[in-house]
Chain A
Amino acid sequence: LAKTTQPISMDSYEGQEVNITCSHNNIATNDYITWYQQFPSQGPRFIIQGYKTKVTNEVASLFIPADRKSSTLSLPRVSLSDTAVYYCLVGALDTGRRALTFGSGTRLQVQP
């Protein structure tokens, strides 16, 4: 399994754009990149997923360079409610038998 490295914590202010970068140097050809969000005492929640280039949904954007050795989660105009832990996961594009492996995540603190 590809190991991921993320910053332990980040601070931001309301209304700012936040970019969280994840390093995954050993990503395999059939691996995809997924980001989850977790609030205290709640289960992780899927944010976005991608394989290459850029993916955007109503919540975030995911930028993946051509070498796929890193990825950046971009949260536009964060609010206080975006304070959470964000996990970058790398997993194979296979059946659901393989479990997702969580790293330590990035604790984002949004200030007013």
Chain B
Amino acid sequence: EPEVTQTPSHQVTQMGQEVILRCVPISNHLYFYWYRQILGQKVEFLVSFYNNEISEKSEIFDDQFSVERPDGSNFTLKIRSTKLEDSAMYFCASRGEAGYTEAFFGQGTRLTVV
């Protein structure tokens, strides 16, 4: 079964540092997403990406966040200056062509900001 791959599985970083979370979506999928989940809370939408641009973003996705699809396979989430409250599981997801609505999620990256 095709799968979305995320690396690293766990990252620890110091407050104020930049982090890049990486995702390899399912090949031939066109729509890409980042979500986050703070421990014990619900899954929160961050941003959606299509045709090399952001389609939709939540209020969480402020200027500290950016996304990129640099080489046609990887999809990255960058946090420029991490805060303690950025500690969470970050999930990447991808969906296929228009009308195909099942989203496939990766296993997540656990980000710990200390």
Contact = CB atoms under 8 A, between A and B. Distances in A.
Interface string A65-81: 00000000000000000
B102 A49 contact: yes
Interface residues of A, number: 25
Interface in B21-57: 30-31, 33, 35, 42-45, 48, 50, 55-56
Interface residues of B, number: 31
B110 A43 contact: no
B27 to A, nearest CB: 15
A41 B89 contact: yes
Interface in A73-108: 87, 91, 93-105
Contact of B100 (A34, A96, A99): A96
A38 B91 CA distance: 12
Given A95-B98, A96-B95, A96-B96, A102 B43 contact: yes
Contacts of B89: 41
Contacts of B107: 42-43
Nearest to A104: B42
Given A96-B30, A101-B45, A43 B101 contact: no
B43 A98 contact: no
Contacts of A13: none
Contacts of B45: 99-102
B28 to A, nearest CB: 12
A33 to B, nearest CB: 11
B103 A95 contact: no
Contacts of B42: 102-105
Nearest to A92: B101
Given A41-B89, A49-B102, A96 B108 contact: no
Contacts of A102: 35, 42-45
Interface of A: 32, 34, 38, 41-46, 49, 87, 91, 93-105
28 contacts: A41-B110, A43-B91, A43-B93, A43-B105, A43-B108, A44-B43, A44-B103, A44-B105, A46-B104, A49-B101, A95-B31, A95-B50, A96-B31, A96-B95, A96-B96, A96-B100, A97-B48, A97-B56, A98-B55, A98-B56, A99-B33, A99-B45, A99-B56, A100-B33, A100-B103, A102-B43, A103-B42, A104-B42
